[in-house]
Amino acid sequence: MGKLRNLIHSNEIREKGKSMLENLTVALLSGDVIAIGNLLRELVGSPYFIREEIFWQNFIEYLDNACDDEDDLRKLSEVLAEDGNSNENAKRLLKIIDDIGTRRKAIYISNLTRACCQHLIDRGKFFKLSQCIVRLTDEDLVFLCDNISKKKVETDEEYIDDFRNCGLMKEVDGGFVYTKRAFELKKYSLWYGHEVEIPEIPERQIIATATSADIEKLFE
C-alpha cells in the first residue's frame, strides 16, 4: 500500500493526542485508505515525542506490508469484525503495533495479518503469535527462524528461558524441544511465504521421562 508513503513522509509524522488514535481505530475498521491517509497527514507539524513517532513509522510499515490495496484493507476490517467485537479487536491490534518498537517486527506482524486474512490461522492464533513477537527481541526472532529444528536442544543457553516463557520451547528429558507454536511462528510470520513443515506436537505435553526415541516419534 504505497499510497500512504505518497501521502506523507514518515519523518514528518507527529503525535496529536488520544483522539487521533481513536479516529484511527474507526478508520481502520472502515477499510478506507483515504481516511487513514488523511488522519496521518493531520499529524504533520504537530508536537511529538519519540515513542509516538516510532508508533506512526511502524504503523505505516505494517500497513504497507499487510495490505497491497483497498481490497486487502477491507479483508482486514472484516477479520477484525468477525466476532462482533471489531472496535476492541482493532484497539488490540494497534496496541500490538505500539508495543513492537521496530520496523522488522512491524513486518512480522504484517505477515501474520496476511495469514489471518487468508484464513491460514484464526484470529486467536494471530494474537497469540503476535504476543511472541512483542515479547522477544529482533535478535531472538532471527535466531529462532535460523535455528529452529525438530532435534532436541541439550545446551542451556539464555535464549531458552525467553522461548519457554513464550511457549516456543518446552523441557524434555535431557534438554528442550521447540513447540508447535514455534514452527507456526516461523511459517506464518518470520519466514512467511516459504515452505515450513509444522510437526504435530501436543502443545501442553511435558515429556519428563521421554527417551530420545520417544521424542523422535513425535516428528514422524
Q: Within 10 Å of residue 101's Cβ, how many Cβ atoms? A: 16
Exposure string of 4-14, with b = 16+ CB inside 10 Å and e = fewer, is beebbebeebb
User: Does residue 12 surpass a pLDDT of 90?
Assistant: no
Give the model's pLDDT for residue 28. Answer: 79
Give the model's pLDDT for residue 36. Answer: 77
CA 114 – CA 7 distance, rounded (Å) = 23
CA 173 – CA 185 distance, rounded (Å) = 24
Confidence of residue 17 (pLDDT cuts 50, 70, 90): very low
pLDDT tens digits for 104-152? 999 999 999 999 999 999 999 999 999 999 999 999 999 999 999 999 9
Least confident of 1-15, 32-46, 70-84, 166-180: 1-15
pTM of the predicted structure, to 2 decimals: 0.74
H-helix segments, the chain? 3-7, 18-30, 33-42, 50-66, 70-81, 86-100, 103-117, 123-135, 138-147, 158-165, 180-185, 212-218
Confidence of residue 31 (pLDDT cuts 50, 70, 90): confident
pLDDT tens digits for 43-102? 654 555 556 778 888 998 999 999 888 899 999 999 999 888 889 999 999 999 999 999
* Position 208, amino acid: A
pLDDT tens digits for 184-209? 999 999 999 999 999 876 555 444 44
Q: Within 10 Å of residue 88's Cβ, how many Cβ atoms? A: 12
- By the 8 A CB rule, do 32 and 13 touch? no
C-alpha cell at 115: 495469514
The answer for residues whose C-beta is within 8 angstroms of residue 5's C-beta and 6 or more apart is 60, 64
Confidence of residue 213 (pLDDT cuts 50, 70, 90): low
